[in-house]
Structure 1
Amino acid sequence: MKPQRIERIIQVIEILSDGQFHSGEDLGVILNVSRTAISQYIKDVQALGIDVFRVTGKGYKFASEVKLLDLDKVSGYLEQQDEDIQNIYLERVIGSTNDFIKHAISDDIKSGMAVFSEAQTEGRGRRGKRWVSPFGSNLYMSMYWRLDDGMGAAMGLSLALGTVIAELLSELGVYDVEVKWPNDVIVNGKKIAGILIELEGQALGVAHAIIGIGINIQMPSWLANQIDQPWTDLSSVLNAKFDRNHIAALLLKNCRKALREYEANGLEPFVTRWQKFDRLAHKPVRIIMGDRELHGIAEGIDGSGALLVKRDGKLERFHAGEVSLRYGA
């Protein structure tokens, strides 16, 4: 989609975000385009995941409240916590926040650089699965972190960050938060957040970690048929509305803190914290390795991030990227 078109769509969203009706004629005057063009922009807005009412004689109105992310508010919350507010970006519509970070990698990039987006048109999870990313509903953040010890240093990174997200949700009042090895955060058996870490650079030299995190805050229910797994969101779990700017600031601050700790001490300090949320602890699991399927009992993780599975009385280790994990015998 061309930048000018995206800019027009964002203008329409910003106007309608006041919660009032606006006629196609009035929108056309503001944007200096025809009513036919406005009709197409409304379709584009709906394609981004926003439900729009159209009432004859009144015009267009959002079906539910849309409060936009505000970088000044995010920065304000961070400043209250004495957190660095440099190198934080906000995009309204983007292909992928991870791709934004990838394109920004240079000799000058600093660890902790982050980008948020209101919507992703090409959001993705592990193994290339689509991450449904409607506008103004959830949090989509990607962050850069330099790995001086090479790609191997990232082995347990998703587990450390999964722990941080689970702890954040607990602090917000969510009970029954669980983590599922290697990168899912679950509430009441349904996925509420996920992590995608992509690596660039050298196996033994400097590597670059691009860390993508998605948290469902208030997913539009009418998009449910586009999601291929059980899911939930923060608003449904707690029956409340949330300030996404505040949660964005908390997420960024806590992730940066965790990454500094991980950089200094590896995964070991996170293992006990992770195990408090372990969804599969002492439960039967199936390990899928190509055409092979192994059965055992999950027994947590080790300091490298490997999944420990007891089989025939012995502990075996399995690493993410090598296997797929299923719950149940």
Structure 2
Amino acid sequence: MANRDEHTLHQLLQRLADGEYHSGDELGDWLGISRAAVWKQLRKLGEVGLPLESVRGRGYRLTGGLELLSERRLREALSLEANRLVTALDVLSVTDSTNARAMLRAAEGQSGYICLAEQQTAGRGRRGRTWVSPFGQNLYLSVSWGFDGGATQLEGLSLAVGVALCEQLAALGLKDLGLKWPNDLLWREQKLAGILLEMTGDPAGHCCVVIGVGLNMAMPESAALSIEQPWVDLATACVAEGCEVPGRHQVAAGLIERLVLLLKDYHHEGFSSWRQRWECRDAFRNREVLVSSGTSSRSGIARGVDESGALRLEVEGEYTLCHGGELSMRPVK
């Protein structure tokens, strides 16, 4: 029954995605259900935060419409090489976490698996933080990838992923982008996207890494009330810069393309080939920052990163290396 209800809800969203009015009778005929059952499904849209508008005599519509993700459209937008590297691609309506789905595949040894979702009910950022995940508004994407030779091959990977994401958005016309060590993408020093890496397998042998990317595309203000830091979405940034706001398929397909090509060669190239590109986007280079763990913190001057992606922190003229893990960094105001 749950699968049938989910299928019905997905069909309803497809009908309402055009942003036009549709009567209850029309929706019932389309779905093959009663008006009462239609109303039950419409109530679910409010529960996931979608802006449903109702006008007597005209029907119902989703204000502004909705671009639902499609596996077929994403596959069609990928190059032949990227399609070959993507062994499976799932587009889910609602899931707990795309990283959790990808971790299950990674535990089975599947490399090249891509998972996207319209909404996450338990989306996670670094250090156990909640990733706010309203339905159909943002981008939630995870990739599983296998590596032989152990976890040392993954050094600096989260930073390289940040560069790939940054370059994808820059290719779409956005300019004022920056990277915050170890894995945040900023626009004018406001958080636009975050990256989460998780690993399973043998740290000294064959292992799988899952790369999760959360990108704010068109974040509703009501959904963002729990975010405890300055944030921005892609639509706002594009309007402010006067460039065209890209669609979700355009951004997602471009990012998938860049990620799988990055991962294909990363065990040969490592972070060294990405280091200069990261430092060109370093939002806090030569600025005073505070680096914190769960129990301690220290301030210093951020002096870029080394060949492994560790932050070079200058404290009273001495340099120390800070490795990602559970550390976080913020500027000292």
Alignment-derived partner of residue 314 in structure 1: 318
Whole-Å separation in 1 of the counterparts to 2:78 and 2:228: 35
What SS class does the counterpart of residue 142 from structure 2 fall into? strand
Whole-Å separation in 2 of the counterparts to 1:289 and 1:227: 20
Q: What is the CA distance between 1:80 and its match in structure 2?
A: 6.7
Task: State whether structure 2 residue 253 is matched by structure 1 residue 249.
Answer: yes
Task: State whether structure 2 residue 206 is matched by structure 1 residue 213.
Answer: no
Task: State whether structure 2 residue 292 is matched by structure 1 residue 288.
Answer: yes
Whole-Å separation in 2 of the counterparts to 1:193 and 1:65: 23
* TM-score normalised by L of structure 1: 0.92
Whole-Å separation in 2 of the counterparts to 1:310 and 1:238: 35
Alignment-derived partner of residue 96 in structure 2: 95
Deviates more, 1:56-65 or 1:300-309: 56-65
Deviates more, 1:223-232 or 1:243-252: 223-232
Q: What is the CA distance between 1:200 and its match in structure 2?
A: 0.9
Q: Give CA deviations for 1:76-124 in whole Å, capped at 9, x if unaligned.
A: 22137775354222222222111211222365623x2212222222211
Q: Give CA deviations for 1:299-326 in whole Å, capped at 9, x if unaligned.
A: 0111112111001111101111243322
Q: Give CA deviations for 1:159-191 in whole Å, capped at 9, x if unaligned.
A: 110111111111111112100011100001111
What SS class does the counterpart of residue 105 from structure 1 fall into? helix
Letter paired with 2:9: I
Alignment-derived partner of residue 150 in structure 1: 150
Letter paired with 1:270: W
Whole-Å separation in 1 of the counterparts to 2:304 and 2:109: 39
Q: What is the CA distance between 1:298 and its match in structure 2?
A: 0.5
Alignment-derived partner of residue 164 in structure 1: 164
Q: Give CA deviations for 1:28-56 in whole Å, capped at 9, x if unaligned.
A: 34334443433332232123232110112
Residues 92, 118 of structure 2: 8 Å contact kept? yes
Residues 199, 209 of structure 1: 8 Å contact kept? yes
Whole-Å separation in 2 of the counterparts to 1:18 and 1:251: 25
Whole-Å separation in 2 of the counterparts to 1:79 and 1:163: 20
Residues 151, 201 of structure 1: 8 Å contact kept? no
Structure 1 segments of 4+ aligned residues over 6 angstroms from their partners: none
Residues 160, 262 of structure 1: 8 Å contact kept? no
Q: Give CA deviations for 1:281-314 in whole Å, capped at 9, x if unaligned.
A: 0000112244433121000111112111001111
Task: State whether structure 2 residue 278 is matched by structure 1 residue 277.
Answer: no
Letter paired with 2:327: V
Whole-Å separation in 2 of the counterparts to 1:226 and 1:59: 33
Q: What is the CA distance between 1:267 and its match in structure 2?
A: 0.9
Matched residues, number: 328
Alignment-derived partner of residue 7 in structure 1: 7
Structure 2: gaps (5+ residues): none
Whole-Å separation in 1 of the counterparts to 2:236 and 2:327: 32
Matches of residues 12-161 of structure 1 in structure 2 within 5 Å?
Answer: 12-79=12-79, 83-84=83-84, 86-105=87-106, 109-110=110-111, 112-161=112-161
* TM-score normalised by L of structure 2: 0.91
Letter paired with 1:63: T
Q: What do you get for the CA RMSD once the two structures are aligned?
A: 2.1
What SS class does the counterpart of residue 219 from structure 1 fall into? coil
Letter paired with 2:77: Y
Deviates more, 1:200-209 or 1:179-188: 200-209
Whole-Å separation in 1 of the counterparts to 2:95 and 2:329: 31
What SS class does the counterpart of residue 319 from structure 2 fall into? strand
Letter paired with 1:176: D
Residues 199, 208 of structure 1: 8 Å contact kept? yes
Q: 1:291 to 1:133 in 2, by over 3 A?
A: closer
Whole-Å separation in 2 of the counterparts to 1:291 and 1:221: 33
Structure 1: gaps (5+ residues): none
Q: What is the CA distance between 1:141 and its match in structure 2?
A: 1.1
Whole-Å separation in 1 of the counterparts to 2:291 and 2:76: 45
Percent identity reads 34
